[in-house]
Amino acid sequence: MALELAHENIWFDKWRVDDAERQFYEKKSSASHTSGSAGGQVSADVLNRLTKLESENSALSKTVSTLEKTVVQLVKRLEALECGGKTTASATTSTSAPPSKPEPMEEDDDDDEVDLFGSDDEEEDEAAAKVREQRLKEYAEKKSKKPGPIAKSSVLLDCKPWDDETDMAEMEKEIRKIHMDGLTWGAAKLVPLAYGIQKLSILCVVEDEKVSVDELIEKIQEHEDYVQSVDIGAFNKI
């Protein structure tokens, strides 16, 4: 029996081949299934896109047709307006008289008118300037003629005699006899000096522009019989 089996051709590894074949067909069937599902999804997406494009295309075609109609209508209206304008222009040119030639001196006349107005303005400005100058001059004259405050000074003069025998009352009389424009005599008193000698302190008010104090002192000293010297005891501005 063993010898008979040895002479027979037996395929002991067939089960391996069967397993490999079975695995091959299983893989093939699974691959075909996935490719079919993927192809179905792709075809669905493509179909949706095509549908969307077709709807957009139809909408655009409608818009384009509407625009074409509008353009055609506008062209017709423009042609009608142009035709109407030409006819009215021809009618007016045929009915109206030929235009007259412009006067060559029209611009010069305008320039002359402008110059005339300008001259009037200049005359008015000159008159206003003259009035302004006249008013300023009058104001300056009034201001110069207006009397300002008179500057005065109060002066106390000390008149000294030669000796104690000098008649001081007579000295005062002689001094008060001096008259000058702007000079006003005031009070007087006797002030003791020394050894029974007294001096005459007499007050006077002078206008600074009219009376010079030095000149007044010189006039007092001219009375040599009574006056030895004259000093300024006080000098105040009023």
pLDDT tens-digit series, residues 135-153: 888 888 777 766 667 789 9
Residue 115, pLDDT above cutoff 60 = no
Specify whether the CB–CB gap between 159 and 230 falls below 8 A. yes
Report the run of H or E that residue 79 belongs to, with start and end: helix 14-95
Buried b (16+ CB within 10 A) or exposed e, 211-235: bebeebbebbeeeeebbeebeeeee
Q: How do beta strands 229-237 and 152-160 pair? A: antiparallel
Least confident of 9-18, 185-194, 217-226: 9-18
Handedness of CA 207, 210, 216, 218 (dihedral sign): positive
Is it the case that residue 62 has pLDDT exceeding 60? yes
Better-scored residue on pLDDT, 90 or 166:
166
Alpha-carbon separation of residue 146 from 42, 121, 182, 207, 209 (angstroms): 117, 38, 19, 18, 17
Identify the top-confidence range among 9-23, 79-93, 120-134, 208-222: 208-222
**Residue 25 — pLDDT band, cuts 50, 70, 90?**
confident
Per-residue model confidence (pLDDT) at position 2: 46
Place 8 in a pLDDT band, splitting at 50, 70 and 90: low
Instruction: List the chain domain ranges.
Output: 1-88, 152-237
Q: Which helix (H) or strand (E) holds 24?
A: helix 14-95
**DSSP states of 131-194:** HHHHHHHHHHHHHHHS--PPPEEEEEEEEE-SSTTS-HHHHHHHHHT---TTEEEEEEEEEEEE
pLDDT digits (tens, 9 = 90+) for 69-101: 899 999 988 888 888 766 655 555 555 555 555
Q: Identify any residues that bridge with 219 across adjacent strands, giving them in sequence order.
A: none
Nearest to 204 by CA among 150, 153, 151: 153
Calculate mean pLDDT across residues 157-175: 93
CATH of 152-237, picked from 3.30.70.60, 3.60.150.10, 3.40.50.300, 3.40.50.880, is 3.30.70.60
CB-CB contact of 230 with 158 (8 Å): yes
- The per-residue pLDDT for 87 is 61
Report how far Cα 121 is from the mean position of its chain's Cα atoms.
30
CB atoms closer than 10 angstroms to residue 60: 10
Tokens 């549908």, residue located: 51
